Amino acid sequence: MNLQKLIIADHDAVLVENLAGYFRQRGVEVKTAYDAKTVLKLVHHETPDAFVIGITMPCNNGTTVCELLSDERRFAFLPAVLLTDHADDWLTHQCHALQAYYAAKGPELARRIETLLEEASSHVPVSVGA
């Protein structure tokens, strides 16, 4: 995995810390956040290679964060994974419109994020959507 910087954000602190620990052990620099406002600050300050954000977040939601970042030219193609407890038609449509991926919270989550990181480092599109 060639990716160096990843932001992981969700209102579930246990999930965030478990994912952060997993990726740090693999040599990825990880920043964490628990609300949307902090994610926006981190992305602007750290310029990550990708970010993972929960749909449900304090101070805004994950889709709004993706919309705000996609409006800025330097972040328009920043790979993003939206975390969800379950995907529905609305979420699928939103993710396609935002050119973001979505992943269900669960045992396959780390693998899906690894796929995103591989894509970001190789610039080869792969399908990550659940």
What are the tokens at 127? Answer: 């399908």
Cα 45 to chain centroid distance, Å, stands at 16
**For 86-128, how does the pLDDT look when each residue is reduced to its tens digit (9 = 90+)?**
667 777 777 777 778 888 888 888 988 888 788 777 754 444 4
Phi, psi dihedral angles at 50 (to 5 degrees): -165, 165
Structure-token pair, residue 62 = 């994950």
pTM for the full model?
A: 0.83
Which domains, ranges and CATH numbers included, belong to the chain? 5-116 (3.40.50.2300)
